[in-house]
Amino acid sequence: MKLSVNGKSHDVDVENDMPLLWVLRDELGITGVKYGCGIAQCGACTVHIDGQAVRSCQIAAGEVEDAEITTIEGLGQPEALHAVQSAWIEHQVAQCGYCQSGQIMQAASFLQLNDEPTDEDIDFAMSANLCRCGTYPRIREAVKTAAKTLRGA
Amino acid sequence: MGKLGTIARRTFLIGSVAVAGGVAFGYYMYKRPAANPLLEELGEGETALTEYVRISSDGITLITPRADKGQGVYSMQAALIAEELDVELEQVTVDPGPPSPAYYNTALSEEAAPFRSTDDGFAAESVRSVMDVLMKFLGMQITGGSTSAPDGYQKLRIAGAVARETLKKAASQKTGVAVADLTTEGGAVLLPDGTSLSYIDLAPMAAQIEPVTEVSLRDPSTWRLIGQPMQRVDIVDKSTGRLVYGIDHKVEGMLHAAVKLNPAQGGEMSAIDGSEAEKMRGVVKVVPVKGGVGVIADNTWRAMQAAEAVKFETGPSPFPASMDDHWSALEASFVEDAVDSRQRDEGDTAARLEGAEVFEAEYRAPYLAHAPLEPVSAIVQVQDDRVDVWTGTQIPRFVQSNVADLTGMDIEKVHVHVFMMGGSFGHRLEDEVVKQATQLAMAVKGKPVKLTYSREEDMMHDFTRQIAMARMKGTVKDGKVETLDLGIAMPSVVVSQMGRQGFPVPGPDLQIVAGAWEQPYRIPNYRVTGYRAPQLAPISSWRSVGASSNGFFHDCALDELIHAAGADPMEERLRLMWHDASRKTLEAVAEMSNWGSDLGANRGRGVAFVMSFGVPTAEVVEVTNTPDGIKIDKVYVAAEVGRVIDPLNFDNLVKGGVVWGLGHAMNCEITYTDGVADQTNYHAFEAMRLYQCPEIEVRGLENSDKIRGIGEPPVPPAAAALANAIYAATGQRIREMPFNKHIDFV
Ligand code: FES
Ligand code: FES
């Protein structure tokens, strides 16, 4: 089947029901997307499908053949960072960093829908993403900074 | 006492040699390791100046042997070297280096020695220095016990200075300018006329000359990096998905594998039938491994699916069948026969408890999983003349020797490549996954095999935090705490953990009472007894180890007595505390939280103090009792670490420790039914989520001359301060973790 990831089209030979997560990681070598739980409890595997944040461990490859898939690698790179990534760097959010691809993808998609979030909005949007290192206070600050940048842009 | 005398005498010799080495004169002697491991692996055109600095024509690499699990020690170690070497962090590459005895962890012995960390007396210091030699001998290259900062603080600065001075010497020989007239900056030696000679150009020459081994360290007032907020060396990679963790690494021709382990802890599977699994797409082979069965395939998901399709019979667990049985084993351990240590016994506790009005309470703390977000994984490739292991581990030297044993390969031919870890919290002090990956790799010799645990395997086969129980008896008099008698029962973490590495551990295990026996209080009658429970489920070090349960027990017990005495929790703790640096942490949180001010209706404030890993840490938690349950509003933390190396990372780590301590206390436990863990994934082991996270205010204090690490100390007081705050807000005293068995949280 054909998958379009970060603007590039890939031919993959996988079962229809293989979760997108494992197609990305093991077949295409795109490892910014992480495996944490496999059951939609942690958010480490968050990618965008047509701009919307989804858990790639819950999406079968066959369901997204015609969709545009974006991973953290496609969101922004060091030379051209997305506003959310810049905010994450400015606030030094990451500890181990393993959850942060998912956190950033979640925040980017949520801020696109709502760039003037209240504290409650942030709590609501970001609470399905686990961080075992406990970087939550910095995630909150970084989301606010990113929102400000996005509003200004 | 006799034994201590001998130890102290023997040490004195070692100690005087160390003093003669130059520390007394303000100079530091660089002790060259028996073998510099960098020299063995030097490539064409590469130079090693000490075991921490490697220079090639491509650039400068700093070796940071303490593994990074997210606590930022790569950056911290690099900064300590760079401070003296005069390079900018943006100029260098950071590399964890190979496993080697040259990178032994000096600071671990501090915690292993049977002295309170507040004890600076001669005997304590002497024994610590003996332990230090012992550690060097064992070549303990371990990351743990919040030791990376104390371990590296001098060693790494000395290494940086030695490399710098050797480069200056080379520059002097090259140009004829006296060393005294040379300065260094930004990775180059500067001549008085402004000419700049880069370290990279000087390195080949520096490698040829006798290194400078006597250096003086810079005055803290001139530091450029230490004490300043630093951008972590890996922050951009971690924010763009580019950082390669062990689980992400790829080796040419690699196969993927999964395991299905015997669901019951410690049992062995039998009647393994992999015939269905072998027919599934992509499956290469089904291989029995230690504790279960592994499937090698061409993709992790296919391997995981196939592992679930293997048929087998569950072997019974050798451990107690129900949690009631686990708890009974602890209850039965509060007897004289099971006394493991009674290092604190002041006044006459037993006599005071006779006939007085005695307050009693019992506390419990459950098994807990480490559950770092990155599940464990390892890649192993077995070839005729070498074995390679790529993994995130805190114990590279054990990994190396265990793989050598399994494969029958000489230890020098086992190459361990350590990766950045997606969290650990003590999880990666175990290496079962490497052993199993090795067995799988042996079955397809020549091919690299990456074994990735599913979250379920990772959680159900974790070596958990100890289960623990405490019993408190106490008396109060004239509004003051008069007697505190605390008994703590748990199995020995150290015996369980080291036992898996084949080391017997004789003598008492001070982790059974850590976070309780060494608290700097003076109470007229004060006794802390450790009771050794039998080994139950296998257990391991979990962020803050013994103190993770005992800090809760000890501080809440004290809090109960303070309330019984009718005293103020802050004032009475301060009155009882003799250790100045510890008092200051309490005074700091009192000021930060405006202790004593009115919080309003349905709210409560609790304080806790725990010294662990030598770090006095005080926390105040504020909660509101809402109709939907307890809401944690705010936390104030003050911790004494001697020197805050990077205030930004310090702040981040402390907050993480508080979130960790609170989250697990709120809602986490691992329970076993017939040896099978009942919690299989995060839905049943959530800890804290963002919406529950309070505002956290952090203050690092620098009143002591001992440098300490901050990875663990914020954890123990968090649960205690929360329980104390809940009591203040509701009048309900919670004595068992997780607290949600007794009260709801928002
Ligand atoms: S791996 Fe998909 S939500 Fe955890
Ligand atoms: S930074 Fe480690 S899990 Fe979030």
Predicted pLDDT at A66: 87
- Model confidence at B709, pLDDT cuts 50, 70, 90, reads confident
Task: Encode pLDDT of B228-252 as tens digits.
Answer: 998 888 999 999 999 999 999 999 9
Residue B11 CA from chain centroid, whole number: 28
In this prediction, residue B73 carries a pLDDT of 83
Q: Is the CB of A38 under 6 A from ligand 1?
A: yes
pLDDT band (50, 70, 90) for residue B41: confident
CA pair distance A85, A77, nearest whole angstrom:
9
Secondary structure class of B607 (helix, strand, coil): strand
Parallel, antiparallel or unpaired: strands B214-215 and B255-261 = unpaired
B305-321: average pLDDT: 96
**Listed ranges B26-30, B395-399, B722-726; the one with the highest mean pLDDT:** B722-726
Calculate the alpha carbon distances from B303 to A90, B285, B300 in Å: 40, 10, 5
**pLDDT value for B26:** 47
Query: How far does the CA of residue A86 sit from the closest CA of chain B (Å)?
Result: 8
Q: Is pLDDT above 60 for B27?
A: no
Most ligand 2 atoms within 8 A of CB, residue of A98, A126, A127, A136 to mutate: A98
CA angle B218, B224, B230 (to 5 degrees): 130
Q: Is B684 on the interface with A (CB under 8 A)?
A: no
Half-sphere exposure for B200 (CA within 13 Å, toward CB): 10
Q: Where are the domains of chain A?
A: 2-75, 83-152
* Cα B345 to Cα B483: distance, rounded to the nearest angstrom: 11
How close does chain B come to A6, measured CA to CA in Å?
13
User: Is there a contact between A43 and A102 (Cβ–Cβ < 8 Å)?
Assistant: yes
- Interface check for B178 against chain A (CB to CB < 8 A): the answer is no
For strand A68-70 and strand A2-5, is the pairing parallel, antiparallel, or unpaired? parallel
Is residue B142 classed as helix, strand or coil in its secondary structure?
Answer: coil
Does pLDDT of B130 surpass 60? no
Residue ranges covered by each domain of chain B: 31-105+140-240, 246-317+376-452, 323-368+463-741
The pLDDT mean for chain B works out to 89
Q: Is the CB of A52 under 6 A from ligand 1?
A: no
CA B235 vs CA A71, B232, B243, B451, B647: distances in Å: 18, 5, 9, 27, 16
pLDDT score, position B17: 27
DSSP states along B453-485:
--HHHHHHT--BBPPEEEEEEEEEETTEEEEEE
Give the span between the Cα atoms of A1 and B137, in whole angstroms. 58
Q: Is the predicted pLDDT of residue B139 greater than 50, yes or no?
A: no
What ipTM goes with this model? 0.98
Is A135 touching ligand 2 by the criterion CB < 6 Å?
yes
Neighbouring C-beta atoms of residue B685, cutoff 10 Å: 21
How many Cβ pairs within 8 Å bridge chains A and B? 185
Confidence (pLDDT) at B3: 34
Which member of B234, B660, B696 has the closest CB to residue A97?
A: B234
pLDDT of residue B119: 59
* Record: contact B70-A98, CB cut-off 8 A: yes
Measured CA angle at B348 (ends B343, B351), to 5 deg: 130
Distance CA B603, CA B722 (A): 12
pLDDT band at B365 (very low <50, low <70, confident <90, very high): very high
Cα–Cα distance measured from residue B580 to residue B374, given in angstroms and rounded to the nearest whole number:
41
Average pLDDT on B46-56 reads: 90
**pLDDT of residue B227 exceeding 50:** yes
Closest of B359, B367, B411 to residue B387, by C-alpha: B411
Structure confidence at residue B34 as a pLDDT band (50, 70, 90): low
Report d(CA B123, CA B114) in Å as an integer.
10
Best mutation site among A57, A59, A100, A132 for ligand 1 pocket (most ligand atoms within 8 Å of CB):
A57
If one residue of A135, A138, A140 were mutated to test the ligand 2 pocket, choosing by the most ligand atoms within 8 A of its CB, it would be A135
Classify strands B255-261 and B449-452 as parallel, antiparallel or unpaired: parallel
- The per-residue pLDDT for range B585-612, each reduced to its tens digit, is 999 999 999 999 999 999 999 999 999 9
A132's CB contacts (< 8 A; 6+ apart) are: A96, A98, A99, B371, B372, B373, B423, B425, B660, B687
Sign of torsion, CA B681 B684 B686 B692? positive
Three-state DSSP state, B696: strand
Lowest mean pLDDT among B61-70, B197-206, B221-230, B295-304: B61-70
Q: Which two tokens stand for residue B186?
A: 């930004």
- CATH fold of B323-368+463-741, please? Aldehyde Oxidoreductase; domain 4 (3.30.365)
Percent of chain A whose predicted confidence (pLDDT) is above 90 = 98
Enumerate residues 6+ apart whose C-beta is below 8 A from B402.
Answer: B431, B434, B435, B438, B501
Question: What is the distance between the alpha carbons of residues B569 and B586, in angstroms, rounded to a whole number?
Answer: 11
Do the bridges between strand B196-198 and strand B188-190 make them parallel or antiparallel, or are there none, so unpaired? Answer: antiparallel
- Listed range (B66-75, B183-192, B214-223, B678-687) with the worst mean pLDDT: B66-75
Class of domain A2-75: alpha beta
CATH of B31-105+140-240, one of 3.60.15.10, 3.20.20.70, 3.90.79.10, 3.30.365.10: 3.30.365.10
To which H or E segment does residue B352 belong? helix B349-353
Backbone phi, psi, residue B719, to 5°: -65, -40
Query: Across residues B372-390, what is the average pLDDT?
Result: 98
Whether B490 and B549 have beta carbons less than 8 Å apart is answered as yes
Cα B338 to Cα B322: distance, rounded to the nearest angstrom: 22
* pLDDT value, residue B117: 61
Distance, CA of A82 to CA of B711 (rounded, Å): 31
Nearest CA in chain B to A83: B239
Q: Does B681 touch chain A (CB under 8 A)?
A: yes
pLDDT at B629 over 50: yes
Query: What pLDDT is attached to residue B454?
Result: 98
Topology (CATH level 3) of domain B246-317+376-452: Aldehyde Oxidoreductase; domain 4 (3.30.365)
What are phi and psi for residue B301, nearest 5 degrees? -65, -40
Chain A contact for B280 (CB, 8 A cutoff): no
Q: What is the pLDDT of residues B444-483, one digit of tens each?
A: 999 999 999 999 999 999 999 999 999 999 999 999 999 9
**Closest ligand to the CA of B652:** 2
**What pLDDT, in 10s, does the model give residues B82-112?**
999 999 998 999 888 887 878 877 655 544 4
Q: Which residues pair with B631 in a beta bridge?
A: B624
pLDDT value at position B75? 86
Q: Which ligand is nearest to the CA of A55?
A: 1
State the pLDDT at residue B6: 31
Q: Under an 8 A CB cutoff, do B281 and A18 touch? A: no
* CATH architecture for segment(s) A83-152: Orthogonal Bundle (1.10)
